[in-house]
Amino acid sequence: MNNLRMYQLLGRARKGLNLIIVGTYTMKASGLCAPAAAFLIILIRWLGWPGANFLGWLFLTGCGCLAGLAIGLGYKRWDEAAVARWLDARFGFQDAITAALICIRRGCSGPLDQGIVERAQLVSADCLPIKWPLSRFYRQTIQAALLIGVSVLALTLIPSRLKFHSPTAKVSSQITDNSESQLESRPTQPEMAPLTPGEIAKMLFSHHPQLMIQAEKAVMAGDMESLRSLLRKAMKNPEPEYLDRTFTASRQNLFKDLQDGQLIQNLISAESMEDFRQIVVQNQVQQSQHPETKGQDRDQPARELAQRQSKSKPGSGKTPQNNGNHLENQRPEPDQLRGLGTYAYNSALPGQEKGTQKGFTTRIIPQTGSSKKPVILVNKGGFFEYLLPGKDAQVPLAGVLPEAAQASEQALFTRRAPAEYADFTRSYFLKLSQSIAGSPPESEGKP
Torsion sign over Cα 18, 24, 25, 27: positive
Q: How far apart are CA 89 and CA 83, in angstroms?
A: 10
CB of 61 to another protein, least distance (A): 23
Q: How far apart are CA 2 and CA 350, in angstroms?
A: 88
CB of 27 to another protein, least distance (A): 12
Between 24 and 30, name the residue whose CB sits nearer to another protein: 24
User: H/E element holding 384?
Assistant: none
> Residue 295 class from Cβ within 10 Å (0-12 exposed, 13-18 middle, 19+ buried)?
exposed
Cβ contact 131:17 at 8 Å: no
CB of 172 to another protein, least distance (A): 51
Which string of DSSP letters, residue by residue, matches 68-136? HHHIIIIIS---HHHHHHHHHHHHT-TTHHHHHHHHHHTTT-STTHHHHHHHHHHHHGGG-S-----HH
Over the range 349-368, which residues count as b (16 or more CB within 10 Å of their CB) and which as e?
beeeeeeeeebbbbbbbbbb
CA 66 to chain centre: 30
Cβ contact 60:68 at 8 Å: no
Between 76 and 380, name the residue whose CB sits nearer to another protein: 76
CB of 122 to another protein, least distance (A): 11
CA 416 to chain centre: 10
Shortest CA distance to 131 belongs to which of 80, 84, 91?
91
Between 21 and 201, name the residue whose CB sits nearer to another protein: 21
Q: Which residues bind another protein (CB under 8 A)?
A: 17, 20-21, 24, 76, 78, 82, 85-86, 88-89, 94-96, 98-99, 102-103, 108, 110-116, 119, 133, 136-137
Q: How far apart are CA 2 and CA 164, in angstroms?
A: 73
Q: What single DSSP character describes residue 420? A: G
Q: What single DSSP character describes residue 242? A: T
Cβ contact 184:395 at 8 Å: yes
Between 113 and 304, name the residue whose CB sits nearer to another protein: 113
Between 27 and 263, name the residue whose CB sits nearer to another protein: 27
Between 103 and 417, name the residue whose CB sits nearer to another protein: 103
Cβ contact 178:366 at 8 Å: no
Between 31 and 198, name the residue whose CB sits nearer to another protein: 31
Between 28 and 391, name the residue whose CB sits nearer to another protein: 28
Tell me the three state secondary structure of residue 393: coil
Between 95 and 297, name the residue whose CB sits nearer to another protein: 95
Between 59 and 132, name the residue whose CB sits nearer to another protein: 132
